[in-house]
Amino acid sequence: MLVKGLTETRDVVVVGAGIAGCMAAATIALKSNGKVDVLLLDRNTPSEVGKKNTLGWVCGDAVGEHHIKYVHERTGLSYGLPEMENHVTAVYVFSPDMKVRVPFEGPGFVLDRPKFGRKLLDDALKAGVDYRGNVQATGLIAESGKIVGLEGQTAGTGANEQFEIRTKLIIDTSGMSTKLRRNLPIPSYIEKDIDKDDVEPTARLNARLRDGVEVETSHCDIYLDQEKAPGGYLWLFPKAGDKVNIGLGIQQKRTHKPLNALLKDWIATDPRFQEMQPLSDDSNLSGAWQVSVRHQNDCLVANGYMVCGDAAWFPNPISAGGIGPGLIGGVMAGETAVRAMEANDFTEKQLWQYNVDFVQHYGNKTAGLEAFRLYLQTLNNSEINYGMRHFLSAKEATGMSLGEMPELSPVQKLTKLFQGLGSYRAFRGLLYTMDKMKKLNQLYQDYPKEPSGFEAWKRQVDSILQDVRMRFN
């Protein structure tokens, strides 16, 4: 309960009860056997927990099985029906001419997103987390170079009452719109702002296809097409029965067309979508939101503050998949918070291990994938068709989506092929990108174990990515 006029005190406050926030809060409660007093705040009521904006849980809803396994192994939590709506064996990426398809990232699930959100909250509540809905964090309180609390206001109907909570640690999981990271009031290595070209406007809708239209339910489809989705891609993810989640993400600077117009064009021209019925179960409406497609914030901790999930730019720079990294990052942030409580130390130095864990498990490939995304966005449809037909084997595609570097051999043969088609520019760009990806992947193997090594290391990362941007912008 909020008591007017009194300042509340908590051990840990998690701001934003989406994927990352619920997982971080649940992990703290589970790993501390309920000893840590953790408050999870969100703008939404419990029945709409994790809703991103007024239109709903705007997402493609697909998540890789390996992320779900990781959560189970670390926390014992498990998921099933009804929140895991459909199991798929692969995500296929199709070339613009639809003649080649390659598998990406392996098996996974298509979620019923509102139900998944409520399951995550239920698990957190059962573990002992205290949830408060209808409240909005508005800012952080700093004293002597560390975060010591937050300010907020009630977000439901009626007068917006202001409140303040004092705490040892804040975990910011408030998603892409976070005000907390952007206005972090203490010195730290955390980047506050994102380049607008690294944010993709993305729209989706859930729909029931008309009788007689069948899509294969055993795999998710991603369609590369620089005309229909410039600088991004379109997707069709099968849900239960004859339901689908379809959508697209774009890089806005590559087109004058608004996102919704592109979605309408696709729906109007694809025969599978004629007479389909848009769905609004659980008030999950058609809508758009934004996804980051850069590597994660290279530093995730400051004195008394951690950032996780979309608030820390966790989505994969190529696929924009952020559910998996949000889940595993939430577990890691939660484990770090428990260790900090045990040590009664909430300094950047104590929390640093969260950076190291995240990079080791997931973040070591994302800067490389960001470089690859910058390259990919410069290709036209015929170059993508050609590259996918002649270069990418299924094994290489899966490996690459997981951050592995395929061997380009024999280089001379490939050079001839690309010269033959007049796509030598694309091939040279690919060689250049792969060299930079190798260098970036190597740098992330040496991610600094302590804050003191960060600045010199970060300069090297920034310099490589700056070169890639200059070349492909």
Ligand X SMILES: Cc1cc2nc3c(=O)[nH]c(=O)nc-3n(C[C@H](O)[C@H](O)[C@H](O)COP(=O)(O)OP(=O)(O)OC[C@H]3O[C@@H](n4cnc5c(N)ncnc54)[C@H](O)[C@@H]3O)c2cc1C
d(CA 324, CA 116) in angstroms, rounded, equals 13
Distances (CA, A) of 71 to 24, 65, 86, 110: 11, 10, 19, 17
Q: From the list 230, 247, 304, 368, which residue makes contact with ligand X (rule: CB under 6 A)?
A: 247
List the one residue out of 224, 228, 244 whose CA is nearest residue 236. 244
Q: Which is nearer to ligand X, 62 or 430 (CB)?
A: 62
Distances (CA, A) of 442 to 48, 419, 469, 470: 42, 31, 19, 21
DSSP per-residue string spanning 255-300: -SS-HHHHHHHHHHH-GGGTT-EE--GGG--SEEEEEE-SPPPS--
Q: Is 32 in the site for ligand X (CB under 6 A)?
A: no
Q: Is 15 in the site for ligand X (CB under 6 A)?
A: yes
Q: Is 62 in the site for ligand X (CB under 6 A)?
A: yes
Q: Which is nearer to ligand X, 401 or 433 (CB)?
A: 401
Q: Is 52 in the site for ligand X (CB under 6 A)?
A: yes
Region binding ligand X by CB under 6 A among candidate stretches 25-33, 317-325, 423-431, 462-470: 317-325
Q: From the list 14, 91, 93, 291, which residue makes contact with ligand X (rule: CB under 6 A)?
A: 291
C-beta neighbour count of 241 within 10 angstroms: 11
- What residues pair up with 132 in beta bridges, in sequence order? 41
Are 209 and 272 spatial neighbours (Cβ–Cβ below 8 Å)? yes
Q: Which is nearer to ligand X, 292 or 423 (CB)?
A: 292
Q: From the list 86, 154, 173, 366, which residue makes contact with ligand X (rule: CB under 6 A)?
A: 173
| H/E stretch holding 414 | helix 411-421
Q: Is 317 in the site for ligand X (CB under 6 A)?
A: no
Q: From the list 114, 149, 238, 324, which residue makes contact with ligand X (rule: CB under 6 A)?
A: 324
Write out the binding residues for ligand X, residues 122-141 only, by CB under 6 A: 136-137
Q: Is 321 in the site for ligand X (CB under 6 A)?
A: yes
Amino acid identity of residue 98, one-letter, is M
Are 212 and 85 spatial neighbours (Cβ–Cβ below 8 Å)? no
Q: Is 202 in the site for ligand X (CB under 6 A)?
A: yes
Write out the binding residues for ligand X, residues 260-289 only, by CB under 6 A: 289
Q: Which is nearer to ligand X, 244 or 291 (CB)?
A: 291
The pair phi, psi for residue 178, each rounded to 5°, is: -50, 130
Q: From the list 14, 20, 165, 170, which residue makes contact with ligand X (rule: CB under 6 A)?
A: 20
DSSP per-residue string spanning 89-112: SEEEEEPTTSS-EEEES--EEEE-
Q: Is 306 in the site for ligand X (CB under 6 A)?
A: no
Shortest Å, Cβ 69 to ligand X: 15
Q: Is 174 in the site for ligand X (CB under 6 A)?
A: yes
Q: Is 88 in the site for ligand X (CB under 6 A)?
A: no
Q: Is 388 in the site for ligand X (CB under 6 A)?
A: no
Q: Is 175 in the site for ligand X (CB under 6 A)?
A: yes
Q: Which is nearer to ligand X, 178 or 303 (CB)?
A: 178
Q: Is 27 in the site for ligand X (CB under 6 A)?
A: no
List the one residue out of 129, 176, 170 whose CA is nearest residue 150. 170
Q: From the list 24, 26, 30, 59, which residue makes contact with ligand X (rule: CB under 6 A)?
A: 59
Q: Is 198 in the site for ligand X (CB under 6 A)?
A: no
Q: Which is nearer to ligand X, 317 or 429 (CB)?
A: 317
d(CA 14, CA 410) in angstroms, rounded, equals 51
| H/E stretch holding 456 | helix 454-472
Q: From the list 32, 44, 75, 441, which residue makes contact with ligand X (rule: CB under 6 A)?
A: 44
Q: What is the DSSP letter of 53?
A: B
Q: From the list 10, 16, 239, 305, which residue makes contact with ligand X (rule: CB under 6 A)?
A: 16
d(CA 183, CA 178) in angstroms, rounded, equals 9
Instruction: State the residues that interact with ligand X by CB under 6 A.
Output: 15-21, 41-44, 50-52, 58-63, 136-137, 173-175, 177, 179, 202, 204, 247, 289, 291, 309-310, 315, 320-324, 326
